[in-house]
Amino acid sequence: MTVTRLPRPYIRVTADLVILTVRSGELHILLIDRGNPPYLGRPALPGGFVRDGETLEGAAYRELAEETGLLACDVTLEQLRAYSEPGRDPRGRVITIAYLALGPDLPLPIAGTDAAAARWVPVEQALATELAFDHAEILRDCLESARARLEHTTAGAAFCREPFTVADLRHVYEAVWGQRLDPSNFRRKVTNTAGFIVPTGERRFPDVGRPAALYTRGPATLLIPPLLRTATDEP
């Protein structure tokens, strides 16, 4: 059987990564400084072109390791959406797939390949920075997706190293949502949600104050009812 080969496509595909973590009680994103044109020296999301014979996910994890030194064991990447505006890349027609990852207090990145530098940047600072390509739009979309996921899923616990306290989890929500939450209301909502967190039976003894119960992530993936953002965190 004769197979008709399609002409070599002129559209190229990249994977761009939005890696979020909480450091010192503040939401941070992983950014690089581009080491090559276009946008030489401009802050950008980690990412790069998908190679022949490579899957999108494989390219995403490879770029993560090459540009930042973080490995697949450090984060779990989840495909979010595609960006295909014709003029988004000055090198030609390039479609990118955005990946989102949430992780607990991730290690310091190490720049490599075409990244001149790699660092954790507070999200609010990154939003006020002129990023390369359409990476500001990608960041905003992924940030809103992360905030919404904390409302409807147990993803908030992914930012906590186990075991953790309810206060540790609340600080994650406050950092990601950018708002203060009432400790008593938050504790009641979290502990009354079946399968969200599981007590270990142990306690953390701080230098000052009462011991706090320790928890691990539970088997639930969805929050029913959801833990919704509000201005006053009313029950």
What does the buried/exposed string (b/e) look like for 68-79 if buried means 16 or more CB atoms within 10 Å of the residue's CB?
bbbeeebbebbe
Point out the residues of the chain with pLDDT beneath 50: 6, 232-235
Whether the pTM exceeds 0.85: the reply is yes
Residues near 202 by Cβ (< 8 Å), separated by ≥ 6? 163, 213, 214
pLDDT digits 0-9 by tens, 115-152? 889 999 999 999 999 999 999 999 999 999 999 999 99
pLDDT at 232: 43
Only one residue has tokens 């992530």, namely 217
pLDDT > 70: percent of the chain: 94
Q: Is the dihedral angle over the CA atoms 72, 74, 76, 81 positive or is it negative?
A: negative
- The 8-class DSSP code of residue 159 comes to G
| Distance (Å, whole) CA 17 – CA 99 | 5
Instruction: Report the pLDDT value the prediction gives residue 111, as an integer from 0 to 100.
Output: 85
Write out the two tokens for 156: 């908030």
